[in-house]
Structure 1
């Protein structure tokens, strides 16, 4: 959230005063301005503060206060500015708060743990201009007359659990039309479902910030959105908006950020969009946009991020796009239908960090000019029609961490210089026409980094690659000729076999009734099921080359499917039905996944339940593909060679990943009914996308919690993985949310020590939890993973991040389930750590 809208009081702050007894301050009964903002006060707000009956300003935000706010403070009728934000305060607001604080101008509980409903009496506070309730646990509906007095300028209710499921629940929007000075509107990341009762364009012309993201809002984007000529930020992502982008969208001269991703917007990208020269962030991904990319987008002079991925865009990549020299963070044109060659102007993007043009129909060679993009850390041209050799100019891109040129028609030798790219954690040259010797040094000796599958003319290389030995050039040419003949014969035989097999399956399925899985309600949803034949084609007949993982109940393959007219990479989890419990695992995942909707949980796309080519039962889940693999592979080296990806996870990245996982579990535990217990939280079940956001996966052991008692099986089956299973499961206790919390605590300790719970410890220590306890709190730097680097003062590092993280991990791993923290409290704690870390970094 933009801090400009907090309008902090000018009184003294940021003194970094540590916690002490403040109760004596309650004797200052004539005090009018009480400001302790941005210090390090801890503990509760003393009850004696309620004696300061002449207060106008009460500002304690940006501390580490906790507990309930004393009710007498809400009775001080003279208060105009009440700032409680960025603490760990909890409880619910008094229902009569708007009556008891008739002069309130700014009411701020940002980033706390408040819960309960938003009191309808806020409509009685006729002077209220700023209502800041973001990132709490408020629930229920938004009061219908909350803006009736027309004074609201800042309305920030995002990141809560507020609901709107009936038309009457949306009436608060009607009252907001009275607020002629409304500048900031944020109701994003709630549970608002359906259509707004008004056109957004009916709101105040003063609006500069609109955030409706992360809901399920339907309708169209108003064509007269341009009337808000002061808009700087628009976020409508992750909703169900339809229709087209307004043709006059370019009439927003101050717009800095425009996010419309993950909706159902179709039609063309308006030419006028290029008129917004102040734009820094543009995301139109995951919609149904078609037509060509307008050349007018080349007018952007301040754009840092452009994401047009996962649409149906056609035509060539405009040269003008590649001349936007301000693009520094990300250019993503992947998963479209773009054609033609890659323009040589690509070399102008010499400050860009991430470039993704994968899954298009781009042809020609990789331009030599790519060597000018010296800041690239990620380059993805996978799944195109590129030809020719890998250019020598790639030697300049020594910052690369990910290079994916797979599934093209590249030929020639693998450049030797790639062996010396020490930062590379993922080099994928699979399924090309590369030939000649494979380098046998550097990164090519690490099996976790390099993929060369499907290049049948390669030879030599490290033994694990199992390529044939290299021979003379003449012999190589003869081998190539023989290989062509062999391929021709194999392809002919394969086509003939497939025809016979298809006929056989057709006859057999006509004679054998279809298997109907009446137990699985997910299969009866609107999601269109997919056939075995489609999955077989998508994975090259479940080729080992496409195998990306194995679990307790089956294998996971990568494949490409046409979804909504786009060729999309997916993860296909095939159940091994001969494994005991596999069918039950399939049902568990279906039951869990059919109800969840959270961006940090891996999404299910569709399912397959039927017969394979032999007429045997076949079940598979088709999931979204998360490109950066599991957290386990990033945390731990899998060979004697140190993993470069392991070094890449600095302290801040680990903190963000920990928060992502916590938010996913908080959703499962507290935001769906009935709750879901995952039962197998561990690094290998956490996937990282290209922005290093974590996504929790594998619900094969998940259990849906019900309020009624269940009959427990007489046989003891411990759910989970050794080292992460809570101790009470071993004693026969039923699964619970407290069990997930224990597993999460172990995960947290593993992430920041770099030690697995199954490691062998010394000095009589038998577990990771005890290993941390021995070092806590005075010797934490000794057990901190050396790869978790951080730029900052060591003592501040301990106070801001290390101590809170390990304290939190141990609190989650308490022996007694009742003593463990709840997931919503864990999320608040981690947000506080993240905020403190961010504030320190910006000093």
Structure 2
């Protein structure tokens, strides 16, 4: 019995120690969890504080705030409720900064780089100036960067390529200088790249041809030189390509004419010197704006252009093109056709027959959409086709400086929407048709330097 009592006491002691150990371990575990939770909370507070301080330092660089937008940026409310600031629900960190069209002026604070959760930065239509801070490269979550129509100067930051999630970069309408960084080709998610209307120089980096997701490539109105890189022909997802109003020379890579998703193709006002051939295959079924105007392009207008049935605007003007204008019967959506100042035509009858092909495609007069026809300064000969009278939506008809013969057709009076008619410097004869009195919208009429006779109709 004595032995049993001792065993029981010992067992009880061991049990109590065991219980104490369990309680101790549990307390330590709970304490550890609480400490971990406190640590997370402290990190979150520090993260929020970082964002708030970054926003206040951004505000400090604002020198003009006509609409008093920045007045809400104060400690009386949480920064996630500040004007134009959006935070994520989970972490209460700044994800969007949308300050477009708010008449703000000032420079961009380098502390913008501390908004590490920022996905969208939109400062469109303000008066921000000075350079884009290099710290913008710290925004690894940034997807959209829109700085359109400001006064930002300096160069495109080369470390913008560190913002690997960027899908949209639009900085058109600024005063950016320097060259296009080749490192932009590292932005594999990029869909839109637009730097039109700046002062960029240098050539287009061939490496930009690696941006396989790119849909918009816009560098119009800059000071770019060099050539169109062959590699850009690999950008098969492009819907808009414009490099107009630069000083780009060389040829157009053939692959560029087979960008089958393109809607806008504009290489006008450059120094491109390629030669086009009538049998050049152009595969652009969705293109509605096609411009090669104001270059030094020679050769002929490709027949395959008539397959671009969605064309609205077609510009060939101010080049060195020659030969016939191909049939246009499939271009029933065309409303502006520019082909002035070339060497088109053969100096014989039928040079304007392309107009007949356009008219004959339609089932009714109202389906003919042509509003602007500019054929000035060419070598077009022969009479003006009577089918011209079926283009009843025509507002501008410029055919001066050619070798047109015959009389001015009476049916031209059907063009009641006509505002400008230029037939100067041709070989037209006969009377001025009295039907012109029906064109009561005319504000400009040019008939000089022809062989017209008779009286001017009342």
TM bin, normalised by shorter chain, reads 0.7 to 0.9
After superposition, residues 651-730 of structure 1 pair within 5 angstroms as none
Partner of 1:437: 431
| Contact map agreement 1:81 1:105 (CA 8 A) in 2 | no
Match of 1:214 among 197, 220, 236: 197
Residues 675-731 of structure 1: CA deviation (Å, up to 9, x unaligned):
xxxxxxxxxxxxxxxxxxxxxxxxxxxxxxxxxxxxxxxxxxxxxxxxxxxxxxxxx
Structure with more contact order per residue of length (Cα contacts < 8 Å, sep ≥ 6)? 2
Partner of 2:28: none
> 2: CA distance between counterparts of 1:279 and 1:74?
48
Q: How far did 1:144 drift? A: 1.8
Residues 152/179 of structure 1: CA separation in 2 closer, same or farther (3 Å cut): same
> 1: CA distance between counterparts of 2:298 and 2:386?
30
Partner of 2:206: 223
Q: How far did 1:255 drift? A: 0.7
| Contact map agreement 1:102 1:126 (CA 8 A) in 2 | no
Partner of 1:349: 331
Residues 434/203 of structure 1: CA separation in 2 closer, same or farther (3 Å cut): same
Gaps of 5+ in 2: 1-51, 53-64, 362-367
Residues 271/277 of structure 1: CA separation in 2 closer, same or farther (3 Å cut): same
Secondary structure of 1:273's aligned partner: helix
Residues 120-169 of structure 1: CA deviation (Å, up to 9, x unaligned):
211111111111111111112211211224221111112101111xxxxx
Residues 149/414 of structure 1: CA separation in 2 closer, same or farther (3 Å cut): closer
Partner of 1:723: none
Secondary structure of 1:298's aligned partner: coil
Residues 302-359 of structure 1: CA deviation (Å, up to 9, x unaligned):
00000110000101111011331111x200100000001112x222211101001100
Match of 1:460 among 445, 455, 458: 455
> 2: CA distance between counterparts of 1:66 and 1:193?
29
Residues 372-423 of structure 1: CA deviation (Å, up to 9, x unaligned):
4721000011100000000111121110000111110000010001123110
Larger CA Rg, structure 1 vs 2: 2
Partner of 1:107: 97
Match of 2:264 among 273, 281, 288: 281
| Contact map agreement 1:219 1:240 (CA 8 A) in 2 | yes
Q: How far did 1:446 drift? A: 7.7
Residues 261-290 of structure 1: CA deviation (Å, up to 9, x unaligned):
001111111100122111001110000111
Partner of 1:179: 163
| Contact map agreement 1:370 1:393 (CA 8 A) in 2 | no
After superposition, residues 319-398 of structure 1 pair within 5 angstroms as 319-327=303-311, 329-343=312-326, 345-364=327-346, 365-367=351-353, 368-372=356-360, 374-398=368-392
> 1: CA distance between counterparts of 2:165 and 2:360?
48
Partner of 2:292: 308
Partner of 2:35: none
Secondary structure of 2:208's aligned partner: helix
> 1: CA distance between counterparts of 2:74 and 2:337?
52
Residues 444/431 of structure 1: CA separation in 2 closer, same or farther (3 Å cut): farther
| Contact map agreement 1:102 1:127 (CA 8 A) in 2 | no
Gaps of 5+ in 1: 1-52, 54-64, 86-100, 165-169, 464-843
Secondary structure of 2:80's aligned partner: coil
> 1: CA distance between counterparts of 2:387 and 2:344?
20
After superposition, residues 27-426 of structure 1 pair within 5 angstroms as 67-73=67-73, 75=75, 79=80, 83=84, 103-164=93-154, 170=155, 173-196=157-180, 198-293=181-276, 298-327=282-311, 329-343=312-326, 345-364=327-346, 365-367=351-353, 368-372=356-360, 374-426=368-420
> 2: CA distance between counterparts of 1:231 and 1:203?
12
Residues 246/81 of structure 1: CA separation in 2 closer, same or farther (3 Å cut): farther
Residues 70/222 of structure 1: CA separation in 2 closer, same or farther (3 Å cut): closer
Residues 461/84 of structure 1: CA separation in 2 closer, same or farther (3 Å cut): farther
Q: How far did 1:370 drift? A: 3.6
TM-score by length of 2: 0.77
| Contact map agreement 1:360 1:384 (CA 8 A) in 2 | yes
RMSD of equivalent CA atoms = 2.5
Residues 771-819 of structure 1: CA deviation (Å, up to 9, x unaligned):
xxxxxxxxxxxxxxxxxxxxxxxxxxxxxxxxxxxxxxxxxxxxxxxxx
Secondary structure of 2:138's aligned partner: coil
| Contact map agreement 2:298 2:322 (CA 8 A) in 1 | yes
Residues 551-587 of structure 1: CA deviation (Å, up to 9, x unaligned):
xxxxxxxxxxxxxxxxxxxxxxxxxxxxxxxxxxxxx
| Contact map agreement 1:176 1:203 (CA 8 A) in 2 | no
| Contact map agreement 1:445 1:462 (CA 8 A) in 2 | no
Residues 323/106 of structure 1: CA separation in 2 closer, same or farther (3 Å cut): same
Residues 251/458 of structure 1: CA separation in 2 closer, same or farther (3 Å cut): farther
Residues 204/71 of structure 1: CA separation in 2 closer, same or farther (3 Å cut): same
| Contact map agreement 2:97 2:120 (CA 8 A) in 1 | yes
Residues 477-529 of structure 1: CA deviation (Å, up to 9, x unaligned):
xxxxxxxxxxxxxxxxxxxxxxxxxxxxxxxxxxxxxxxxxxxxxxxxxxxxx
TM-score by length of 1: 0.43
Q: How far did 1:82 drift? A: 6.0
Residues 613-632 of structure 1: CA deviation (Å, up to 9, x unaligned):
xxxxxxxxxxxxxxxxxxxx
